[in-house]
Structure 1
Amino acid sequence: MQVNTSIKQVHTHNREFSNVANRLDRLPISRVHYQVLFALCIVYFFDLADLFTLSNVAPALIDQWGISLKTIANITAFSFLGMFLGASLGGWVSDRIGRKKALSWFVLLFSISSMLNALAWNVPSLIVFRFLTGVGVAAAMIVTNSYLAEFFPTHVRGKYISFCAMVGLIGVPITNVVSALVIPLGPWGWRLVFVWGAVGMIYSLFSRHLEESPRWHENRGEFDKANAIMRRIEQRVEQEKGALPIPKEPMPVKTIQKAGYLGLFKGRNLKITLVLAGVWIFETFGFYGFASWVPSLLKSNGVTIEKTLWYNVLQSIGAPLGALIGSMISEKFQRKWILAVSAFLTAMAGLLYGMTFIPLIIIVFGFIVNVTERVFTSNLYAYTSEPYSTEYRSSGSGLAYGLGRFSNIFGSLIVGFIAIHLGYVSVFLFIGGCWLACAVLLALFGPNTNAKQI
C-alpha cells in the first residue's frame, strides 16, 4: 500500500520528472542490489587482475624473448595509451548508448583481447593486443563505477563501490599466485596468465540481472522508461522487504540531451576536472610505478624470477585487506581525507621499501604499501564518480581516469629511465613523491562528496 501510493505519486509527475534519485535512495539493500553487486564484482575482479598480468609476465619475456627493460616500458606505454582511449571514449559512449549495453561490449573486448595476448608471437603483436586490452579494461571500469554510483542509495554508495573494488583487488594476489604457479611450467607458461585474464567474459552469464540505469534514462528525458525500470525494481524489493517508504517529494529534473567534454571545463566542473585529473595522474605514476616495475627491478638486481614472483604474492595479500578497510571506513569519514591520509602513508612505506634488499623488510613494507595503496584506490573509484552530475558522470570520470592512464605512457618511460640511469632507490623516491602530490592535491582542493545526492 505504501509502495502503491509512492508509485501513484510518481505517475502524477510522469511528464516532468520520475524522481529516480529519491526512489532509489529510500530502497533498503536487497537481493536486487546484491545481484547487481555480484555481476559488477566479476567485472572488477578480472578488470584489475588483467592490469597486473604484464608485470608478472615481464621477467619471463625478458628471459625468453631476450628483450630489455626499455622494451617492457614500450609495451606498457601502449597498454596505457589504450586505457586512455578506453576511459575517455568509453565514458562518452556509455553516456550515449547506456551503461548496461556499453559495459557488455567493453567486457567482451577486454576478455577477447586478453586471450589474444596469449597468442602473441613477437613484441609488435603483443603491443597491439595489450593496447586493445587496455581500451576494454579502462572503458569497463569507468562504466562500472558510473553504474554503481547511480544505482546504490546515496548513504551507502561509497561503501559498496569500495566493496566492489575490494573484490576486484582480490584478483591481484590470485593473479600473482596463478602467475607463480604457471609461468615456471615451461616456456609457454606465461601465456596461461593471459588466458586467465580472459575468464572475465563469464560476466555475460550474470548481466541479465542488470537493468539499465534509470537515472540515465531520466537524464535523457525518457521518463516512461525510467519509471518502468523503477517499478520493476520497486516490485522486486517490495516482494522481499515488504511495503516501501514513500520517497521524498520529487524535484524537477534538468535534462541535457548532449553533454560534451567542453562542459567539463566550465563552472564548478572545471575545478573538479583539474583536481581529479591531477590525482589520477600522480596515482598512476605511483601505483603502477610500484606494481608494474617491482618484479623487473628485483630481477635486475639479482633476485630470481621464482623469488620475485613469490615476494609479489606475499606482498599483494595486503591488497584485499586494504580494500576491505577502505570499504569499512568509506562512509565514516570524508573520502577526500581517507584518500589524502592513505596517499601519505603509501609514500612513506614505499620509500622504506626501496631502501633495502633484505627479504623480510621487502615483504613487510611491500605488504604495507599494498594495504594503504588499496585503501586509497578503493575509495578513489567511488570518489571519482561522485562530484559530477549525471550528464557528465561517465564522461568526466572517464576523462580523469583516462588522463591518468595516458600520463603513464610517459610514466613508464620515466621510471624506466630512472631505473637504468639513476638506480633502484631513485625509482622509489620518484614513486613516493607522486603519492605525496596526491595527498596535497586532495587535502587542499578536493571537494567533499559523502552522502550528497548526485
Structure 2
Amino acid sequence: MTAATAPNAQQRLDRLPIGRFHIVTLVAVSFAYFFEFADINTFAVTAPRLLKLWGVTVDQVAYVTSTSFVGMFLGSIIAGALADRVGRKPALTATVLFFGVFSLASVFSWDVVSLGVFRFLTSAGLSAMTVVAVIYVSELFPAARRGKYQAYAIAIGICGTPATSLIASFVVPLSDWSWRLVYLWGALGLFFVFFLRRLKESPRWLENRGEHERADAVLREIEESVAAEKGPLPEPAPALVAPDTTEASAAWWRVLLRRRVLLPTLLLCVLWVTQTIGFFGYSSWAPTLLAKQGFSVENSIFYVALTTIGAPLGCLLAAAVTDRFERKWCLVVFGAVIGVCGLFYGLTFDPVLIVVFGFLVNLVERGYTALAYAYSPELFDTRTRSLGTGISYGVGRLSNAAGPLIIAALYTGSGYQAVFVFIAATWVVGAVVVALFGPRTKLRTPAVAPPNPVGA
C-alpha cells in the first residue's frame, strides 16, 4: 500500500470540529477520572477509623500505602500491553471495571491484610485506567485541541478527591461499619458500562493493526455524526507516510530498546518520578509537618484544605495554554513555578502565606499534571504509545514507594525546611530535564511520522 492510497485516521480526525461525539467521549473519560481520583484516597480517609476499630498500627498503614504504589506500577505496565492487544476501548472498559470491582470488594474486608490486598488490586486498576485514558483521548481528539480536552477531563475528574473527603467526613463517624460506605462510593465507577454503546474504538489503533476496513467504518460513523451536526467537513490533509505495521508482532522489550522509543521513555520516567515525589510530598506530608511545627491538627488540615481549591483551577489554566503554546515549554515553566512556590511554602510560618503559596502549588501542579497527560502519549507513534506511556507512568508511581522514606529521613536528620527544599528541587530537576531533552510536540501527528529525536 502506497502513501498516496494509505488510509490515514489521524488526518481525518484532525480536521473534525468538536461535536457531540467528542463531548460524549469527554464525559465518559471524565466519569472514569472522577472515580479514579475519588477512589485513590479512600484508604487515606478511612485509615484513622481503622486505627481504633482494628487496632491497625501506623506501620501497617504505611505498608498498605506503599504496596498500593507497587500496584500502580504493575497496573501501568499491564495496561500498556492490554491496550495494544485488545484495543483502547476494551482496555479502558476493563480497567475501570477492575478498579470498581475491587473497591467494592474492599467494602467486605475483614482485617487489614484483606483490605491491603484489595487496595493493591484497586490501585493497579486505577493506574491502568489512567494510562489507557490518556492514550484514548490523545488518539480520538484533533491534534489542535486534544491538550485542552485532556485538561478538561482532568478538571472534572479531580473533583472526585474533595467529593470523597466530604462524603467520608459525614459517613465515617456514623457507626463502626459506616467507613465501608466510602469504598462503596469508590465502586460507583462500575456505572461506566452505561457509556459503552456511545464510545468508539480508536481508528488509529485499528489502522496500526492493519484493520483498514474497520478503521474506515469507525471513521465514517464519526464523520457522519459530526457532519450531521456541523455541516460539510473539509478535506483531510494528505498522508505523508503510510502507517507502519511491521512492528506489530515484535516483542515489547525489543521495541522498547529502539532509540526512538527508549529515549522518550527515559525522559518521561524522569518527568513522572519528579512529579510523583513532588506532588505526594506536598499532599501527603504537609498536614503532618505543619502539625509538627506547632500548628494544631485542626488548623493544619484546614490550611491544606484551603490550598486544594487551586487544583481544579490549575486544570483550567492548563486547558487555556496547552494548545496555544508548545507543551514542552509549558511544562518547564509550570515545573519551575511549582519549585519556587513550594520552597516559599516551606520557608514561611505565616498562616496567610502558607495558604497563598500552598494554593499556588496546587494550582500549578494540577496544571502541570494535565499538561503531562497530554504530552506523554505524543512522544510515541501508535504502535509504541501504550508501551512508553505505561512504563514511564508506572515507574513514576513506583518511585513513591521510596519517596516517603526519603522525606522522613530528611525531616529526622535536617528538619522541616530541608523537606521542602528537597521537594522543590525535584520539580526543578524535572523542569531542567524537559527543557534540555524534551521534544516539541505541538500539532504533531505521530501516527503518520515518527517523533522528533529527544532533545529536538
Query: Match of 1:111?
Result: 100
Alignment deviations for residues 183-216 of structure 1 (CA, whole Å, 9 cap, x no partner): 4445545433332222222211112211111110
State whether structure 2 residue 79 is matched by structure 1 residue 87.
no
Query: Match of 2:426?
Result: 434
Provide the secondary structure at the position in 1 that maps to 2:102: helix
Structure 1 residues 365 and 329, CA gap change in structure 2 (3 angstroms): same
State whether structure 2 residue 311 is matched by structure 1 residue 319.
yes
State whether structure 2 residue 150 is matched by structure 1 residue 150.
no
Indicate the larger mover: 243-252 or 364-373: 243-252
Query: Match of 1:343?
Result: 335
Q: CA deviation at 1:424?
A: 3.5
Distance across 2 between alignment mates of 1:168 and 1:64: 31
State whether structure 2 residue 270 is matched by structure 1 residue 281.
no
Structure 1 residues 301 and 65, CA gap change in structure 2 (3 angstroms): farther
Q: Is the 8 A contact 1:275 1:446 kept in 2?
A: yes
Residue identity opposite 2:445 in structure 1: Q
Provide the secondary structure at the position in 1 that maps to 2:265: helix
- Identify the match of residue 402 of structure 2 among 402, 410, 421: 410
Query: Match of 1:8?
Result: none
Provide the secondary structure at the position in 2 that maps to 1:392: helix
Count of aligned residue pairs for this structure pair: 443
Query: Match of 2:454?
Result: none
Query: Match of 1:234?
Result: 223
Query: Match of 1:258?
Result: 249
Residue identity opposite 2:244 in structure 1: K
The structure where helix makes up a greater share of residues is 1
- Identify the match of residue 378 of structure 1 among 347, 356, 370: 370
Alignment deviations for residues 45-102 of structure 1 (CA, whole Å, 9 cap, x no partner): 1112222333334444445555554433322110110100000111111111001111
Structure 1 residues 55 and 415, CA gap change in structure 2 (3 angstroms): farther
The unaligned stretches of length 5 or more in structure 2 are 447-456
TM-score calculated relative to the size of structure 2? 0.90
Structure 1 residues 263 and 139, CA gap change in structure 2 (3 angstroms): same
Query: Match of 2:352?
Result: 360
Alignment deviations for residues 23-47 of structure 1 (CA, whole Å, 9 cap, x no partner): 1111111001111111011111111
Distance across 2 between alignment mates of 1:388 and 1:249: 21
Indicate the larger mover: 21-30 or 310-319: 310-319
The unaligned stretches of length 5 or more in structure 1 are 1-11
Distance across 2 between alignment mates of 1:402 and 1:157: 23
Distance across 1 between alignment mates of 2:296 and 2:110: 25
Q: CA deviation at 1:119?
A: 3.4
Residue identity opposite 1:151 in structure 2: L
Residue identity opposite 2:343 in structure 1: L
State whether structure 2 residue 382 is matched by structure 1 residue 390.
yes
Map 1:165-180 to 2 at 5 A. 165-180=154-169
Structure 1 residues 22 and 205, CA gap change in structure 2 (3 angstroms): same
Distance across 2 between alignment mates of 1:210 and 1:138: 21
Q: Is the 8 A contact 1:55 1:293 kept in 2?
A: no
Alignment deviations for residues 387-434 of structure 1 (CA, whole Å, 9 cap, x no partner): 100000111100100011111112233234444555433332221121
Provide the secondary structure at the position in 2 that maps to 1:248: coil
Distance across 2 between alignment mates of 1:172 and 1:422: 32
Provide the secondary structure at the position in 1 that maps to 2:16: coil
State whether structure 2 residue 207 is matched by structure 1 residue 218.
yes
TM-score calculated relative to the size of structure 1? 0.91
Identity among equivalent pairs (%): 43
